[in-house]
Structure 1
Amino acid sequence: MPVPTLTLIGAGHVGRVFGRLLARASCFTIEDVLTRSPASAQAALDFIGAGRAPGGWDQLRPANVYMLAVSDDQIVPACAALAQAVPLAGAVVFHCSGALASDQLQAARAAGALVASVHPIRSFADPQAVASGFAGTYCGVEGDAAALAILNPALEAIGARPVAIDASAKTVYHAAAVFASNYLVTVLDAALRAYQAAGVPEAVARELAKPLATESLANVFRLGAPAALSGPVARGDYATVARQQQAVTAWDAATGALYEALVAPTTDVARRKPR
């Protein structure tokens, strides 16, 4: 059987890594790599080690699979341009957004394509390092079953671990990463500032918070969140909670509001704590 062809629309860090890995695993033959400029296209081709840089949409060749590795705000217009440029009947078109679902690819679906989304759950700040250590990377996938029947084996061939997600909850799925990463940093920043407000130097504050944070995280991933919860809410000591909230608010109103906002959801976690 001939190796199916893959064209990349956009080739930033995610597109380059996927292109290189999929080509090296012989999952696809890289057809075209279309980017905003000849320079970026050449850089992508050099990284991937395969493909051709067309001069524009009108020079795209038909392919079996198309990956839209573009920014979220460009997915719809890029898909529309693709549907105008090449015949898509029977092809697979997928994007790599973590926030948007495959329903953003309606232009491709209307042209007869199968559509999907594949979101690799990791940072791509260093494409070379990611490409070298991609094995074990989870990818949130959703879309047409026939599209995923083609994409999932290719992902598994490069060491990825596809995880099916509910397309209707794609935004909530993406928010999960924000809670697990971005907002975790915000809460830890509040802890460090609170220590400093009590006269602890910043460097020492980090050392005080580190074992609490690392042990709590380890317990969450080992036991689950309810079992890992400790502290005054877990003990039902709401008098202490009230005193802390009042003191934190007096020190810094915004941090006090954050403390208050966390009491109710933490109480809910405590209710689910094993007895």
Structure 2
Amino acid sequence: MTQLGTVPIGSFSIAFQANLGYNFLGCGRKSALILCDRDRYIRFNCEICPFHLSKGLAVPLSSYADERDFCFYAEVMLLEIGFIGAGKVGKALGLYFERHGLKIAGYYSKTAKSAQEAALLTASTKFASIRDIADSSSIIFIAVPDQVLEIIDCEAVALINDHSISKEKTWIHVSGAHPSDILTGLKSAGCAVGSVHPLQSFGEPSNSAEQLEKVWFTIEGTEKAVQAAQTILDQTGGKYSLIEAENKPLYHTGACVISNFLVTLLESGIQLFAAAGMQREDIMPAIEPLIKTTLSNVREKGTIEALTGPIVRGDFNTINDHLQALAAQLPCELDLYKSMALKTVRMLENKRLTPEQAAKIVQILEETSHAG
């Protein structure tokens, strides 16, 4: 990467850097990538005059929102990342980001102990409330169980309505099953919302963070949230695909076929990912690390203990979402899903599923038809 020069903007010193695909945009109609030379990463969408740049002229950073001069316009995104949720996923993602030089503000969790552990792991801070973590972060990753997402959404919106936190924050959840608009309150309040899902099973945080170096991510959401996610993954070198929100349940179905059922045909999973919007040539590189992790878990724990996902959790709502998505969008895969799910239930009954949970899941499977 070639450094082209430095321009003072307010109290910041901005290093202009370029490589193939990154040139200057403005009067010369070229593009620019700008990185701050301090401890925060800044990505600019810029229109800038190369002549003015060569003279070292730029408007103050404080005026960018009000003054959109013909020769200079910058939209600034300060990447200081906070986490709500300090479980396996939150810790691993935070450690992964921190290892690549991204600034981790810290963690808020319902248990202070887990937040403290995550903060120590990532050299960051333990926060006592959603308000505190939002105040100290520009981007908030929500790494909580799926059923808690709507609760976090409601609590955050109440703080925004009370003017306790700014609506300018970006909120990103990491659920594979749900699209970004499950954060309906935040989206309605004008916040940027998105989802980033790593195609990986999670275990011990340090090992999982190392595995994240090889895994594939999917991104969807509002424009600002997608841009934030892309900026973060561009910094870490993570590979990703962009998908549509309405395809999120179908995408998650594909992940469950490959990761949870274990004995499925790879082609079935490939077709599901393709239907969800991924390029076919990207699919095998995306799923190879997931296959290796699953096989490793089977070798270490055996098939019963290696299983994860909605069936082993007795997560009736997500199972039903999968079935409805298949019936409506890819009915040719519905029978395979149902047969593998039924087999999985039988494997787990009286071991990790109670008889009542098993019976409920069987009922959901039997009630779903090709017509949905």
Same fold, TM-score > 0.5, yes or no: yes
Which letter does structure 1 place at the counterpart of 2:129?
A: G
Name which of 137, 142, 146 aligns with 1:72. Answer: 146
Paired-residue identity, %: 27
- Which residue of structure 2 aligns with residue 236 of structure 1? none
Residue type of the alignment partner of 1:182: N
Using the alignment, how far apart are the partners of 2:82 and 2:260 within structure 1? 33
Aligned partner letter, 1:44: A
Q: Give 1:249's aligned residue.
A: none
Picking from 36, 42, 47, the partner of 2:116 is 42
Q: Counting strand residues as a fraction of each chain, which structure ranks higher?
A: 2
Pair 1:25-2:100 in alignment? yes
Contact persistence 1:7–1:66 (CA under 8 A)? yes
Whole-angstrom distance in 1 between the partners of 2:258 and 2:234 = 25
SS of equivalent to 2:220: strand
- The structure with the larger Rg is 1
What whole-Å deviation, never above 9, does each CA across 1:238-272 have from its counterpart, x for those lacking one? xxxxxxxxxxxxxxxxxxxxxxx56xxxxxxxxxx
Deviations 1:110-131 (A, max 9, x none): 2321010000001112321121
Work out the CA distance in 1 between the residues paired with 2:197 and 2:239.
11
Counterpart of 1:115? 193
Structural mapping, 1:159-178, within 5 Å: 159-178=237-256
CA distance in 2, matches of 1:103, 1:11: 22
SS in 1 for 2:177: coil
1:54 alignment partner, one of 116, 127, 135: 127
What letter corresponds to residue 194 of structure 2 in structure 1?
A
The TM-score normalised by the length of structure 1 is 0.63
**1:82 aligned to 156, 159, 162, which one?**
156
Give the match for residue 233 of structure 2. Answer: 155
Trace 1:191-202 onto structure 2 (pairs within 5 A): none
5+ residue gaps, structure 1, are: 188-219, 223-260, 263-275
| Partner in structure 2 of residue 146 of structure 1 | 224
Checking the alignment, whether the CA contact within 8 Å between 2:107 and 2:127 is kept in structure 1 is yes
Tell me, yes or no, if the aligned pair for 1:138 and 1:162 is still in contact at 8 Å: yes
SS of match in other structure, 1:185:
coil
Runs of 4+ in 1 over 6 A off after TM superposition: none
Q: What is the distance in 2 between the residues matched to 1:18 and 1:185?
A: 29
What is the DSSP-based 3-state SS (H/G/I as helix, E as strand, rest coil) of the residue aligned with 2:237?
coil
**What amino acid maps onto 2:95 in structure 1?**
R
Distance between the aligned counterparts of 1:146 and 1:57, measured in 2?
21
Counterpart-to-counterpart distance in 2, 1:47 and 1:152: 24
Distance 1:66 1:102 in 2: 13
Aligned with residue 128 of structure 1, among 202, 206, 214 = 206
Q: Matched residue of 2:263: which SS?
A: helix
The Cα shift of 1:71 comes to: 0.5
Equivalent residue pairs, number: 190
| Aligned amino acid, residue 170 of structure 2 | V
Q: 1:104 aligns with which of 175, 179, 182?
A: 182
Check whether the contact 2:202–2:208 (CA below 8 A) recurs between aligned residues: yes
Higher helix share: 1
**Matched residues in 1 for 2:203 and 2:173: separation?**
19
Structure 2 unaligned blocks of 5 or more: 1-35, 41-78, 266-282, 286-334, 337-372
